Structure 1
Amino acid sequence: MVPLLAGGLVAVALGVYGRVHTPTGFAVGPAGFSGPLAMKAWLTTGAFLLAFVQVGSALVMYGRIPVPRPPAWIGGLHRWSGRAAFLLTIPVAFHCLYALGLQYDVARVLVHSLLGCFFYGVFVAKMLALPRRGLPAWGLPVLGGLAFTALVGLWLTSSLWFFTAIGVRL
């Protein structure tokens, strides 16, 4: 219960901060990108692609993709692709929260804001659940699946929108 409560608190805290904080309109410089939206779209796309590595490696680790001998490096691939995906989301989340805040006047943006809060809440719950003994066998896969689903939703409501509405550019 502790990981779920902590994750819920993180999600709510991010949402409350995003709502009560006065957006600055600027947070992260878009080093190497044409602007902050392009930076967010490309970093989220990187995390989105790494999320598929996460799912594939988890399926191999849990025996859902049968391989004669799972490679010894599959656990490392899972851990490092997850770390990299999470790190790619940090400047995006910082910019979204600090510069834009939680917005609710456009349905796509509201869904995106809520998914962002949910993603970090689920991530915290999953990380806190990892070292716990006695966790049901389905616990980590469910939390991982929720994090994956939230990240896919974030990509659909941000990067895909950017690439289709604005265009593909760095």
Structure 2
Amino acid sequence: MTVDPNAATQGFPSPDPSHRRPRATRYLVPALVAGAVAVVLGVYGKVHDPQGTTFNLVGFSSTGAVKSWLATVSIGFAVVQFVSALMMYGKLPGPGWASVLHRWSGRIAFLVAIPVAVHCLYALGYQTYEPRVLWHSLLGCFFFGAFSAKMLLLRSERLPGWMLPVVGGLVFAALTVVWLTSALWFFRTFGVTT
């Protein structure tokens, strides 16, 4: 009597090890890092005694103006990154160098956002005295956590095709709300000044 090797698997081929599904740790570690970054920033901002100001640049009338313009530059590069991501995923037509544009616009957006975040955390802290400020503080911390997760996920192999666009969308959405609750508010309240 011969045994059919496909009988136990009902004719399905045995799984190829190179096509295994990613383990949950590939998602769990970036999620835990994101949460840790966001919580550490929030706790630091809450327990730190705000210093009032950390920097000002020549040519600007106030620290608020510096922060607002840097945040506007950051969101501008984030919009470029969003559009270039649509090009990379074939949702918009674009040049072959869209991926280079995507990487560099994201790097610049992040680097320009760092002095703004440092000022917010060091000079102002995590504040909750009104809804606009609460959302700004909450989503500012979330942005840096989500950005950390995105950077870790970029190095992971065999991610589902939807993972990076969703995480990137969360990063972009958080930065947009942070800009709306800070720079746009500043420009509408004090005018578009330098």
Hey, what does 2:44 align to over in structure 1? 17
Structure 1 residue 159 corresponds to structure 2 residue 183: yes
Q: Does 1:106 align with 2:119?
A: no
Larger relative contact order (CA 8 Å, sep ≥ 6)? 1
| 2:114 corresponds to | 90
**How many corresponding residue pairs?**
167
User: Percentage identity across aligned positions?
Assistant: 58
**Aligned match of 1:80:** 104
SS of residue paired to 1:158: helix
Quote the residue 2:80 is aligned against. Answer: 53
Secondary structure of the 1:132 match is coil
Which of 104, 107, 129 aligns to 2:153? It is: 129
Unaligned runs of 5+ in 1: none
When the two chains are superposed, the root-mean-square deviation of aligned CA atoms in Å is 1.0
Q: 2:54 matched to 1:27? A: yes
Aligned amino acid, residue 80 of structure 2: V
- In 2, the alpha carbon distance for the partners of 1:92 and 1:30 equals 12
What is the deviation of 1:28? 1.9
Aligned to 1:44: 71
User: Hey, what's the Cα distance between the residues in 2 that align with 1:7 and 1:110?
Assistant: 19
2:165 & 2:60 partners in 1: Cα distance? 35
Cα deviation, 1:126-154, whole Å, max 9, x if unaligned, reads 00100101211111101110011011101
How far apart are residue 4 of structure 1 and its match?
1.2
- Cα distance in 2 for residues equivalent to 1:32 and 1:92: 17
Structure 1 Cα separation of the partners of residues 49 and 58 of structure 2: 24
Aligned equivalents of 1:33 and 1:47: distance in 2? 17
TM-score by length of 1: 0.95
What corresponds to 2:168 in structure 1?
144
Structure 2 distance, partners of 1:116, 1:14, is 9
TM-superposed CA distance for 1:101, in Å, is 0.2
d(CA) in 2 for partners of 1:134, 1:2: 15
Residue 107 of structure 1 and its aligned partner are, at CA, apart by: 1.3
Within 2, Cα distance between the matches of 1:84 and 1:133? 25
Structure 1: which amino acid aligns with 2:181? T
Amino acid aligned to 2:76: L
TM-score (norm 2): 0.83
Q: Distance in 1 between matches of 2:59 and 2:113?
A: 16
